[in-house]
Amino acid sequence: MAKLILSVDGQVLKEYTLSKERTLIGRKPHNDIQIDNLAVSGEHAAIITILNDSFIEDLGSTNGTMVNGKPVKKHFLQANDVIEIGKHKLKYFNDAPSQASAADFEKTMIIRSPSKPAAPAAQPAPVQAQAPAPAQAPAAPAAPAGERAMSDTVTNMKAMAPEVVKAAPPPPAPTAHADHAPLPEAAIQVLSGAAAGRTLDLTKNLTTVGKPGLQVSVITKRPNGYFITHVEGASFPTLNGAPLGAQAHPLADHDMIEIAGVKMEFFFKP
């Protein structure tokens, strides 16, 4: 399990185990790691731990957060990284194998309006594919399946035809699954905004969704189900109309999520 060693001027003060999904660091007593120093903001930074991975996010502190001597807003933590908050240092240790890479936390599914020329350009594509059908078929495997993963943005995803969505409603399924039962494939569909009607398959262990700098959440694919965790933004997204909160929440079929004013639906694929 990951842990932090707090020190100041080379003297070790305390050891903290990152057992929570969200660990707060700051000057005020309610923080999980309290650093009683005027150079530290009341709520200075937060460490998000998902599976075996952690990253630190500065919470708009007055004096900033540094990792390995460089100022950061959000940073994927690796073994022996040194976090500097004021004169205090927190050294990160983690012997468990990582489930993700630093790029997984930097690439976010951005919800934004597609450019105007992009909409009509998508229409002729199926027409051209009809005539040379044999030539078009072998071209599909050329793109690796990994390109459909979390790094794709909503604006680059192919829109699902409305009749397909209606003809194949996702079947009901429980949130948690027995060890012997395979976890069904799942996806999210955007229901409002300029990207309404588009879908994203949840194929990776970690998929980030939202608007960087405003609201971002992580959807985690675990052996016992799918979970959503708030990771960025002063206000929490909502799940079925209720604020998400700081801890991970399991997702059930047809759950309604609202992030940065955009509504989307989680569903299990048939």
Residue type at 83 in one-letter notation: I
Query: Does 63 score more than 90 pLDDT?
Result: yes
* Contacts within 8 Å (CB) and 24+ apart, 6-10: 6/33, 6/35, 6/88, 6/89, 6/90, 7/88, 7/89, 7/90, 7/91, 8/87, 8/88, 8/89, 9/87
Which one of 25-34, 51-60, 109-118, 213-222 scores highest in mean pLDDT?
25-34
* Cβ pair 105, 207 in contact under 8 A: no
pLDDT band at 78 (very low <50, low <70, confident <90, very high): confident
The alpha carbon torsion through 209, 215, 216, 219 (nearest 10 deg) reads -70
Contact by Cβ (8 Å): 84, 129: no
Q: Give the type of residue at 197.
A: G
Contact between 34 and 24 under an 8 Å Cβ cutoff? The reply is no
Rounded mean pLDDT, 69-83: 89
pLDDT of residue 51: 73
Condensed to tens digits (0 to 9), the pLDDT of residues 134-150 reads 445 444 444 444 444 33
Summary mean pLDDT of the chain: 74
Q: How confident is the model at residue 122 (pLDDT cuts 50, 70, 90)?
A: very low
Query: 86 or 180: whose pLDDT is higher?
Result: 86
pLDDT of residue 218: 83
